[in-house]
Amino acid sequence: MNNQAFAKPERIQKIISAYGAASRRNAEKMIIDGRVFINGVRAVIGQSAVFGVDIVSIDGVALSKKDEYVYIMLNKPRGYLTTVNDDRGRRTVMELLTDVSSRVYPVGRLDLNSEGLLIFTNDGEFANAVMHPSYNKLKTYEVEVQGDIKNALDLLKQPIKISTHTVHAENVEIIKHSGERGFIRISIVEGRNRQVRKMCVSCGLSVKSLRRISIGSLKLGDLKIGNWRYLTKEEVSALG
């Protein structure tokens, strides 16, 4: 996907995404947190600017057009936050991307105690295409659970109310189980905060471990935990 030069003012979130610095959602949070400036003046939500004309900076660093986009997949271990920075000094997934010279950011999230497939990029449009529900990219998880698995399986196939939202699984199946302990596979499209965990708990299951194994056509495969690799052109094309 290519950056485009906007001839007219556009929302600052869109411009940050076009620079490849963050997704629109993350850009909005940066603005709220006071990290974004336009021509030296702190930006506010709803503000517009002109791509390639106005100077946009994040944390004091002016953004520049990128000649090359980078696409990475990581097998995230437990114990790492899916964020670029943490003000409490906790470990983040960025520490695992050794020898990556380009500035990238994580696409979507895996919570602190979850493992598995996590994508990084500096292409905001690609990130949106991967994570936004309107693009119908299935996210599939293997979950180790304890409880009445067979009964929960029927419940997980139905719409589930979580807070103010109703969610549902696209596919649910038992991988293996013995008594009240086993593994299930769940596929969802939305991917709200801790959605799979909350769905399992609401159906009477205790989650012991959770691992994302695929996003759309991209599979975790045999990538070792804690390791990363660049996506192939074919993988990027299939996801984007």
Mind spelling out the 3-state secondary structure of the chain? CCCCCCCCCEEHHHHHHHHCCCCHHHHHHHHHCCCEEECCEECCCCCEECCCCCCEEECCEECCCCCCCCEEEEEECCCCECCCCCCCCCCEHHHHCCCCCCCCEEECCCCCCCEEEEEEECCHHHHHHHHCHHHCCCEEEEEEEECCHHHHHHHHCCCEEECCEEECCCEEEEEEEECCEEEEEEEECCCCCCHHHHHHHHCCCEEEEEEEEEECCEECCCCCCCCEEECCHHHHHHHC
pLDDT band at 158 (very low <50, low <70, confident <90, very high): very high
Residue 36 has pLDDT above 80, yes or no: yes
The residues, ordered by sequence, that sit 6+ positions from 78 with a Cβ below 8 Å of its Cβ are: 112, 113, 114, 115
The pLDDT value given to residue 103: 83
pLDDT the model gives residue 65 = 65
Query: In the predicted model, is pLDDT for residue 93 greater than 90?
Result: yes
pLDDT at 8 exceeding the cut of 90: no
pLDDT: is 196 or 5 the higher one? Answer: 196
pLDDT for the residue numbered 67: 54
Q: What is the pLDDT of residue 16?
A: 86
pLDDT score at 66: 57
Q: What is the pTM of this model?
A: 0.73
> What pLDDT does residue 85 have?
85
Question: What are 18's two structure tokens?
Answer: 């076009």
What's the mean pLDDT in 72-78? 97
Q: What is the mean pLDDT of residues 133-159?
A: 93
Pairing, β 56-58 against β 36-38: antiparallel
Instruction: Read off the pLDDT of residues 100-111 as tens digits, 9 standing for 90 and up.
Output: 878 889 998 899
CATH annotation of 71-133+218-239: 3.30.70.580
Candidate from 64-73, 79-88, 200-209 with smallest mean pLDDT: 64-73
The pLDDT, as a whole number, for residue 4 is 43
> 192 Cβ partners below 8 Å, 6+ apart?
162, 165, 167
Q: Residue 193: what pLDDT?
A: 84
How much of the chain, in percent, has pLDDT values that exceed 90? 63
Measured distance CA(170)–CA(74) in Å, rounded: 24
- The residues annotated as belonging to the active site are 111
CB 69 within 8 A of CB 122: yes
Tell me what the pLDDT averaged over the chain comes to. Answer: 89
* Average pLDDT, integer, range 113-121: 96
Q: What is the mean pLDDT of residues 110-118?
A: 96
Contact between 83 and 106 (Cβ < 8 Å)? yes
For 180-238, write each residue's pLDDT tens digit: 999 999 999 987 889 999 999 999 999 999 999 999 999 999 999 999 999 999 999 99
The CATH code of the domain at 10-62 is 3.10.290.10
Domain boundaries, the chain: 10-62, 71-133+218-239, 138-215
Domain 138-215 classification at class level? alpha beta
Mean pLDDT of 109-138: 91
Residue 5 pLDDT class (50, 70, 90 cuts)? very low
Please report the pLDDT score of residue 3 as a whole number: 41
Tokens of 105: 């950011």
